[in-house]
Amino acid sequence: MQLQLPEPSYDALCASRSLQTLIANDIRHNSGWISFSRYMELALYAPDLGYYSGGAAKLGKDGDFTTAPEITSLFGATLARAVVDLLPMTAPQLLEFGAGTGKLAFDMLTELAALGVSLHRYSIVELSGELRARQQQMLKDFPQVVWLDHFPSAFAGVVIGNEVLDAMPTHLVVKTEHGWRERGIGLSARNFVFREHLCDPALVAQIPEADTLPVGYATEVHPVGIGFMHSLAEILCAGFEESGQGSAAILIDYGFPAREYYLDQRDHGTLMCHYRHHAHGDPFFLPGLQDITAHVDFTAMATAAVEGGLELLGYMSQASFLLEAGLGDLLLRTAPEDGRRYLPQANAVQKLTSPAEMGELFKVLVVGKKLRLPERFVRNDRSHRL
């Protein structure tokens, strides 16, 4: 079926065609087949051509999707309030992965300054040159912000990751009459096509009761995300060894625990693409010009963190986390009588917290080393579901 989506510019179309050629050559150099994870890696991160490494706007009204920091500054201000509770137990520094336009960092730093909280450093790990340039412009008045090209070797402080895990390349697997197969990418005469391949049993190991799922069941598994969590654990454990100070990582994303992720009825997985605020399911549409994501398996992420030496500090809905962190109080900084200013903010809070919007689909996973969450967060904890 032909997708009816907005037409790209001539330059964007040329860039996408260049990326298609690069991916096709990679397939040819690998005996006619690559994993979907490899395809997603190239589509999103190939130098100068991938979705996150190219020059197109990604976020906001002119991009392809909108994240919570773009909806309202109250999101970052609320997250800053949560960080304030943690900083006395760790070092006065933050580390953010995938900072988008820099709006979340801007709002957090603005709120921390208003509260009189001084940070030694706010580090950002950003792979996209275009987004890094936007962040540098957005954050030019905050001299404590520095940019990193890769994980630091050790870190003590608070780590922030908002919608980072969903953008990590994922493998696809499908259950056939002959067992589980990996669904990767091959070439037809003119297009990319799905082709099945022998499946490493380790890819299926994270799926609960995989043997009971029906033939034809297709889903994602997340070794790259698991690797990220192992690396995160490594730097936080190293930070504790060096400084004696604990750390926490707050990871906010859409997803489910494993037993909800791999339900019988979710038999086509969660893979989704975003192009000009249109959501669709074709990952081969204009590679490099659209985002490709999958929901997060929070059980796999939490398990990887614990395997790496961290503690599971909390797992809860975005709504409960933000409300316990003080989102409602921050909203009331604007007088309800001032309808022109208050109503847009109230609508944004509704979007962030409503079960029908982002409040329930988005979850907050908090892991850490030698640190604990304030009691008010623990009362909404759902770690037992992981």
Q: What is the pTM of this model?
A: 0.95
Query: Can you read off the two tokens belonging to residue 276?
Result: 């000009």
CA dihedral 280, 282, 286, 290 (to 10 degrees): 40
Predicted confidence at residue 170, as pLDDT, reads 98
Contacts of 360 (CB under 8 A, 6+ apart): 317, 318, 319
pLDDT in tens, 216-242: 999 999 999 999 999 999 999 999 999
Predicted confidence at residue 61, as pLDDT, reads 52
Strand partners, 182: 173, 197
| pLDDT interval class at 278 (50, 70, 90) | confident
| pLDDT interval class at 214 (50, 70, 90) | very high
Judged by average pLDDT, the poorest of 105-114, 128-137, 306-315 is: 128-137
Statement: residue 198 has pLDDT above 90? yes
Please give the Cα distance from 236 to 249 (Å, whole number). 9
Run of H or E residues at 190 = none
Domains and CATH numbers, the chain: 32-385 (3.40.50.12710)
- Alpha-carbon distance values, 34 to 39, 45, 105, 171, 185 (Å): 7, 16, 36, 10, 5
Query: Can you read off the two tokens belonging to residue 277?
Result: 């605020």
Question: DSSP of 1-52, one letter per residue?
Answer: -----PPPPHHHHHHHHHHHHHHHHHHHHTTT-EEHHHHHHHHHHSTTTSTT
Q: Can you tell me the mean pLDDT for 321-330?
A: 97
Contacts of 69 (CB under 8 A, 6+ apart): 75, 76, 100, 101, 103, 104, 107, 162
Alpha-helical runs (H) found in 172-290: 201-204, 223-243, 258-261
Coil/strand/helix, residue 366: strand
pLDDT in tens, 22-68: 999 999 999 999 999 999 999 999 999 999 887 655 544 555 568 99
pLDDT in tens, 350-372: 999 999 999 999 999 999 999 99
Give which of 247, 175, 183 is closest to 213, Cα–Cα. 175
